[in-house]
Structure 1
Amino acid sequence: MTKLRAGIVGAGIAGASCAGTLAAAGWEVDVFDKARGAGGRLSTRRFEQGWATLGTPFVSAKRDPFRSQLRDWVRQGWVSAVRGNIWQGRATISWAEAQLQNHYCPTIEPSQLVRKLLGSARLHTGHRVAALKPRTLVLDDGRELGDFDCVICSVPAPQAIPMLDALPLLRERLAEVRYRPIWSFLMRWDGGPAADVIKFDDHLLNLAVRQPSGGPGLWSVYATHEFSETYLEASEMEASNRAASALMGLLGLPWPVEIEASHLWRYARPENPVGGFWVGDRENRVALIGDGIAGVGVERAWESGLRLAQAILQSKEELAL
């Protein structure tokens, strides 16, 4: 019996969730991503001393089925509940006092969580998809990969729209989706509050999270949307230096902060997602998933991919896109 085939654009958590679910049901699944590895906002930076993340610092679940997924990751030892102290304003409070008990942090490289979700799906990194057509993916070198039973796109709306010229109904659904950016930085310093998380009450910086790997004194620092919009077109050096200066002032550090890495998440937070979990063009066998459809957060992106895969698998006679 010939296996059904799916081609998926984007190896973030939405694409991986969908790919792994279809692959576990016997589908032949190929996932294409322009980056060097899987992960999206759960990607990893490696150092001689270990790893750190510039992406989503925590994972949380508000409801099933993602709660079940998190429990499984806990049993596997891949994530653990966060129980450190938070420095907020000028006080140190416990994680429980901040009512953030349901947050987890990876104990393995965050990108490995996404790789595990992929299951037996084939991952093709360094492959930039230029266009989607009915049952076909077109790479930026002109190659057409066709004969898929369905094509699924999980990238942010502004990246998906240029791919959808041949699919105007889907293109129109994404036209109004807007995102807010976030600059994030890996910085190393000594001193400061005796806490694992710092919540800034400031218009420039939002959050700093101590990294469990990567050597002593390494933190992920996340700017506010306002800072990130102001420095949207700035160089990494300019944005990093401005953030480091703000950090030193807020924490009263008398010595320079070492900047290890930085990244602009241009499409960090969808302001007006389409709604639902997925959008499909049934006739052309193409569907869209991800936070631009389902809303903010790892949980929503994961469930977006899962729900589409379940809808496809539950349709007996034809693909229920």
Structure 2
Amino acid sequence: MTRMRLFEERCVELYSAAKIRGFLHVGIGEEAVAVGVSAALAPADPVVSTYREHGHALARGVPMDSLMAEMYGRATGCSGGRGGSMHLFDADRRFYGGNAIVAGGLPLAIGLALADAMRGTGAVTTCFFGDGAYAEGEFHECANLAALWHLPVVLACENNLYAMGTAIERAQAETDLALRASSYGMAAWAVDGMDVVAVAEAARRAVDHVRGGGGPVFLELRTYRFRAHSMYDPERYRDKAEVERWRERDPIDALVARLLEEGALDEAALERIRADALAEVDRSVESAEAAPLEPVEELTRHVYAEQGGRS
């Protein structure tokens, strides 16, 4: 979680300095969701994410150097510099990326889960999406198919209470999303998304249920983003006092307090963790700034499939 926090804080600085361009959506405050869910997954389990996916990619094991290079639009980035912040992919790690379209990752996840089910691989697909995506038709179509076909998929809804600038109670007649999801005939429950231990336990239970043949599971991860929807967002839709109340539940601070109380770590060890993460971020920036841009003559690649050569 410290690596995620420091990576994204640096990205905010770099964006403000115009070194990172395009859109930038950070998940500062939501780190417990990415870490807790990812801890329950095996390397062969596919993961599909949203446009707020830096933490998911890091938790999945995507190297920070390749992520930062992608943020810079460099050729060494995980998507070759073509995707930027919202389109991080690493097929070798079965991380099928961010998606700029709200709910756009859900049909992809259903397809991946169906493919693994047909091949009998035993893999469990996890799809992250927000409460805003819950209101889209894709979610309901995909939830229905997942239950109907008994697919091996965990639908992980990051409910941070705001779909861009719309509060959940202004968009959803029933704000208990797990309750509504259960109507599709799948197991569904909510968990405190600010508590990484609670998330890890809930995710393990969900993955074990799915891998054991129990069918899909819906997890409502009740979390909160401390920063605006994106770097372009003036954030006029929520009260600053509300944000500060949630900041008091910072998932990193909560875990630190727990570890110190249990004697699992001491202050010196925690300082080393932070120092190591900060050094890793520094190295990733240095690597990205030294990396090449994609040659102009390569810009038309990947528009069409390549068969026996470049098209």
Instruction: Please indicate the TM-score interval, normalised by the length of the shorter structure.
Output: under 0.3
TM-score (norm 2): 0.25
Larger Rg: 1
TM-score (norm 1): 0.25
Per residue, is there more strand in 1 or in 2? 1
Per residue, is there more helix in 1 or in 2? 2
